[in-house]
Amino acid sequence: MTIKKRRKLIITIVCLILFILLFVTYIYLIIPLHGRESELSLYEFDKDLQFCEKYGFNIDITGEEYKILYLSDLHYLGLAIYDSKIDKNVKALVKKEAPDLIVLLGDQTSSPFNEKVYRHCVSLFDSFELPWALVFGNHDDDWHADKAYLSLMLRKSKYLLYLDGPNIGGLGNYFINFRYQEKPIHTLYLMDSDDNGVSLISKFDWKFAKHRLEIEVDRELLDWYEWAVAGNNTSSTIATHIPLLEYEIAYDNAEQNDTVLRGLRRERNDSYEVNIGLFDKITALKSTKAVIAGHNHKNDFAVIYQDVQLMHCVTSGFTTDGVDGIHGGTVSIINKDGTTTFDNVYYD
Ligand SMILES: [Fe+2]
């Protein structure tokens, strides 16, 4: 074989290997791991469904107060070299704050290795031997494993308070009811801000994606929220990933009147462009006193708008955009009378 022919053969083999590698990567990233829907614990919801405690969790407050640590946008990559910094800071914050419950506000990951990250989350947050809860963000199921698959993985946790929720679109709509001396005093509603099962490609433009949603899905979420509020009959907090549209005007007003409670808006709130009417429902029902969201990594503000505290949780991860020194979480105290306070906490 001449040198020229040998070189050609080597180039062909290298190209072939590269092609196979790229193809395998493509298959891994693009073909998602689907959870079996039949294994989800979704329940049939309609407005006439009789309310029952099994649709949520009960927690009895035994001390003077109950402390929740919210963490948001951890954005684990699934690569130890990057993730160890998040672990180290989360562990230190949990130790310092000594919460009774930890709530993850979505975008635990945006990595192709999302199922690996979820396995890591189960192991890390179970290691605190505390109850923890979560909502999905818009990026958790960007790659590989879908939410149904992640939901099945979450069942391996010993301490996680999580339910798939009603069959109304989205996954992980549920509530935690806090009781003092057996009397319900406050409820935390965990809501999936969802991407409504849009395709992987359109998800990269999630504003476009939202336009594709069937409005009926959102109406059902509002119906579910109203049904749950009537059933629980307490003051409440909503924990979700994407901020409501009203965050923007609420901050504008507070900034003008110099009434921002804490933190700053360092970037425009990336809310969905279609208003699903959740805020109007909140003000009409008068149960929810606070909404806490993640999603905008640079924002950590809280303002009062129409008697409702709208706030961003301090972002907790380091692998995407953020602001140096503005990383940590948000702490909430539930008092014995069901009132709540919130404050931002930052990593040391
Ligand atoms: Fe995020």
Domains and CATH numbers, the chain: 32-346 (3.60.21.10)
How close is the Cα of 316 to the center of ligand 1, in Å? 10
**Where is 19: in which H helix or E strand?**
helix 3-30
Tell me the pLDDT of the chain averaged across its residues.
88
Which of 180, 174, 179, 146 shows the shortest CA–CA distance to 160? 174
Q: Which of 19-28, 111-120, 131-140, 217-226 has the weakest average pLDDT?
A: 19-28
Q: In whole angstroms, what is the distance from residue 94 CA to residue 227 CA? A: 34
Q: Which of 55-69, 185-199, 321-335 has the weakest average pLDDT?
A: 185-199
Residue 247, pLDDT score: 96
AA identity, residue 317: G
| Average pLDDT score over residue span 247-255 | 97
| Average pLDDT score over residue span 183-193 | 95
Residue 203, pLDDT score: 42
How close is the Cα of 128 to the center of ligand 1, in Å? 24
How close is the Cα of 106 to the center of ligand 1, in Å? 7
Q: Confidence class of residue 195 from pLDDT cuts 50, 70 and 90? A: low
Residue 207, pLDDT score: 42
Per-residue pLDDT at 201 exceeds 80: no
More confident residue, 69 or 10: 69
Contact assessment for residue 188 and residue 239, using Cβ atoms and an 8 Å cutoff:
yes
Residue 200, pLDDT score: 38
| Average pLDDT score over residue span 156-182 | 93
Residue 271, pLDDT score: 82
pLDDT digits (tens, 9 = 90+) for 13-67: 888 888 888 766 666 666 667 777 677 888 999 989 999 989 999 999 999 999 9
Q: In whole angstroms, what is the distance from residue 53 CA to residue 49 CA? A: 12
How close is the Cα of 295 to the center of ligand 1, in Å? 4
Residue 163, pLDDT score: 96
Burial 131-168 (b: 16+ CB within 10 A, else e): bbbbbbbbbbbbbbbbbbbbbbbbeebebbbbbbbbeb
Tokens of 171: 């996954």
- Provide the Cα torsion 307, 136, 312, 314; round to 10°: 150
Contact assessment for residue 196 and residue 169, using Cβ atoms and an 8 Å cutoff:
yes
Residue 259, pLDDT score: 98
Contact assessment for residue 72 and residue 105, using Cβ atoms and an 8 Å cutoff:
yes
Q: In whole angstroms, what is the distance from residue 166 CA to residue 71 CA? A: 25
More confident residue, 10 or 124: 124
How close is the Cα of 48 to the center of ligand 1, in Å? 36
Residues lining ion ligand 1 (Cβ < 5 A) are 73, 107
Contact assessment for residue 150 and residue 192, using Cβ atoms and an 8 Å cutoff:
no
| Average pLDDT score over residue span 185-199 | 76
Residue 62, pLDDT score: 94
Q: What is the 8-class DSSP label of residue 43?
A: B
How close is the Cα of 330 to the center of ligand 1, in Å? 16
Where are any strands of DSSP class E within the chain? 56-61, 65-71, 101-104, 132-134, 174-180, 183-191, 235-240, 288-293, 302-305, 308-312, 328-335, 340-346
Residue 345, pLDDT score: 98
More confident residue, 80 or 302: 302
pLDDT digits (tens, 9 = 90+) for 52-71: 989 999 999 999 999 999 99
Per-residue pLDDT at 89 exceeds 60: yes
What percent of the chain is predicted at pLDDT more than 90?
64
| Average pLDDT score over residue span 132-159 | 91
Per-residue pLDDT at 208 exceeds 60: no
Residue 111, pLDDT score: 86
Residue 26, pLDDT score: 63
Residue 57, pLDDT score: 97
How close is the Cα of 136 to the center of ligand 1, in Å? 11
Q: Which of 4-8, 29-33, 208-212, 267-271 has the weakest average pLDDT?
A: 208-212
How close is the Cα of 297 to the center of ligand 1, in Å? 6
